[in-house]
Structure 1
Amino acid sequence: MDLQPRRYAEEIERKILSPYATLVIDSKGRKRPETPCPIRTDFARDRDRVIHSASFRRLKHKTQVFLAPLGDHYRTRLTHTLEVAQISRTIARALRLNEDLTEAIAMGHDLGHTPFGHSGEKALSSVAPFEFHHAQQSIRVVDRLERDGKGLNLTYEVRNGIATHSDGGADAATLEGKVVEYSDKIAYINHDIEDAIRAGILRPEELPYDCLYVLGRTKSERISTLIESIIENSFGQNQIRMSDEVWKAHRSLRDFMFQCVYRNPLAKGEESKAQELLIQLYRYFQNHTEKLPEPYHSVIEEEGLDRAICDYLAGMTDIYAINLYQQLFVPKMFG
């Protein structure tokens, strides 16, 4: 019996989603055409491919803000990703946008992050002959590196949302991509506040009162205010935005976090060590090309040694990079 749940899901999208939503039947498709899944839409299939990827699993051991935290409750890159996905789906559902597309973008948006967070990103940019950026690396992961070099072959819309999720790049081609961009900022500012307070780097009373007056005193209140502002100011429109008052308070809180936490010597005390660790690993593989794992040899042939080293190092977890550094550079004791 040919039930074709996928066709039913596509028809439901057409009937209930906003006229500004991205319908899966209107997708620009994949680079390599594939037979459609009889059960899942293409966007749902993309979400599943990301979740089942090795790169996604490694996010659980990659730094969010605090390098190699000992506490169980500090965020990692994986828990951040799950929080972004949850916020994104809440907004997408309220605006009647495509939840499967939104979630697929959210789950894949940080796959290209280096070990040690943005400090690792800076380290690779300092030694590579090109600027290393995690959003572009996330696209390399899904296009080139996953599945032993075959990539995940995701749809255009998911790839576009992943590539455009961070500041300074091109705008997302879909409202779903823009929802993830906003949700990423909502998530990291507010959960980083919680982690900074837990670490003793920030006291609740130090948070700027003018921002709390608008957004709320607790994490839950602030996230709710930001989500509700997006929904109220974007519903039925071909745009994603907050009210001017809420956006200004959110940006001010973000500026405060950069000044008091993200550049705080206590939070970033180990950052220079982490950067030096990655730089030394980079130099090692420049001089010992044969030590790179076999899957990266084809990258060397097609795109050069520097690209291959960046791909290898960026895929490491914090723990793996530290252990590899110790194996290569720290003398072993006899006995």
Structure 2
Amino acid sequence: MTIREQTEQLERQTLSKRAALAAESQGRDVPIPECPFRTCYQRDRDRIVHCKSFRRLKHKTQVFLAPQGDHYRTRLTHTLEVSQIARTIARGLRLNEDLTEAVAMGHDLGHTPFGHAGERALDKICPYGYKHYLQSVRIVECLEKDGQGLNLTKEVRDGIACHTTGPVAKTLEGQIVRYADRIAYINHDIEDAIRAGVMRESDIPDDIHRALGDTKSKRITTLVSSVIYNSGDEIRMDDETFAAYQAIHKFMFEKVYTNPLPKGEEGKAQDIIIKIYEYFVSHPEELPDEYRAILAHDDVHRAVCDYVSGMSDYYAIHIFSKIFIPEGWSKY
């Protein structure tokens, strides 16, 4: 037996009957020879981690635009925290950690520069609309590897597509990532907001503190425990804990997510996205080669949307400056 076959056998012996087993995957659109060492889900995780879109997450906004401090979250650190929480839940439920991790690592690949502000700008201007979770799927299916895509398994792509709203993932592992994403962002956004002086821990209402805990660690433990102890044929929290989660989300929406202090620059960020988008729609010949190639089978809006959505915060600012900000004359 190969190492992969031994791992697949171990999954059959140790995982829950509800787990998605690697040996029973629905497979890839393009069949490939099996790896002697890694299961299909381990291979998917590795393909995601090594792709360009994953690396660009390090300079994409989570909540605070292009933060200057070293300790604010970016899309990359958010992704790592989601993965850690998701794996803890998967292990507690004896589900497939490798599938869970692969979905978690790929779930935000389609996020725009400047976070949800950039997403709203593209959704407004692109005739196709824009949803980051659908773009994440497009990235792994069509854009990575010079247009070849990553050729991931159907289970990983389904989990990525269903990680936020709308249809629920077909696997419990995919459903876990939806909860892990919520648990991660609400708690690290609190910590970042406190660091930024936007709020204090004591601002959180007492009833939420009593229900979830008065520190990040306690809240994560409460929420993760609720998922583990209450999930069966579906991933869920108990009603009381989920109500407390909704209450703290509402609190954060009012205190942080719509606060002019962290969000005051979002109008400028959206203007940057829209102006860059409009420029390249009018000048498609200036798109990089890999995005001009899209024009052979899609229209200019699709190509420009793919290009602009993939930019990091800093690269978007650089491109905007290059196009619209005049350079000083330097020849003496």
CA distance in 2, matches of 1:275, 1:164: 26
Please tell me whether residue 294 in structure 1 is matched to residue 289 in structure 2.
Answer: yes
SS at match of 1:193: helix
Matches within 5 A, 1:80-229: 80-167=78-165, 169-229=166-226
CA distance in 1, matches of 2:191, 2:181: 16
**Which of these residues, 307, 311, 317, is aligned with residue 306 of structure 2?**
311
CA distance in 2, matches of 1:209, 1:202: 15
Q: Return 175-184 or 288-297, whichever deviates more.
A: 288-297
- Specify the alignment match of 1:55 in structure 2: 53
Gap runs ≥5 in structure 1: none
Instruction: Give the letter aligned to residue 328 of structure 2.
Output: M
Q: Residues 210-241 of structure 1, C-alpha deviation per residue, up to 9 Å, x if partnerless?
A: 1111000000000000001111112xx21111
Pairwise CA distance, 1:305 = 0.6
Pairwise CA distance, 1:99 = 0.3
Structure 1 stretches of 4+ with a deviation exceeding 4 A read: none
- Specify the alignment match of 1:269 in structure 2: 264
- Specify the alignment match of 1:245 in structure 2: 240
Pairwise CA distance, 1:51 = 0.4
Gap runs ≥5 in structure 2: none
CA distance in 1, matches of 2:192, 2:79: 15
SS at match of 2:297: helix
SS at match of 2:260: coil
CA distance in 1, matches of 2:168, 2:234: 12
- Specify the alignment match of 1:258 in structure 2: 253
Pairwise CA distance, 1:259 = 1.3
CA distance in 1, matches of 2:270, 2:205: 31
Instruction: Give the letter aligned to residue 259 of structure 1.
Output: E
Pairwise CA distance, 1:298 = 2.6
Pairwise CA distance, 1:104 = 0.1
- Specify the alignment match of 1:74 in structure 2: 72
Pairwise CA distance, 1:57 = 0.5
CA distance in 2, matches of 1:263, 1:34: 47
Q: Residues 146-178 of structure 1, C-alpha deviation per residue, up to 9 Å, x if partnerless?
A: 0000000000000000000012x2110000001
CA distance in 2, matches of 1:255, 1:27: 38
SS at match of 2:31: coil
- Provide the alpha-carbon RMSD of the alignment: 0.7
SS at match of 2:261: coil
Pairwise CA distance, 1:209 = 1.4
Pairwise CA distance, 1:300 = 1.7
SS at match of 1:7: helix
Instruction: Give the letter aligned to residue 273 of structure 1.
Output: K
**Which of these residues, 273, 278, 282, is aligned with residue 278 of structure 1?**
273
CA distance in 2, matches of 1:89, 1:271: 33
SS at match of 2:262: coil
- TM-score norm. by structure 2 comes to 0.98
**Which of these residues, 40, 43, 49, is aligned with residue 42 of structure 1?**
40
Instruction: Give the letter aligned to residue 280 of structure 2.
Output: F
- Specify the alignment match of 1:26 in structure 2: 24
Instruction: Give the letter aligned to residue 297 of structure 1.
Output: R
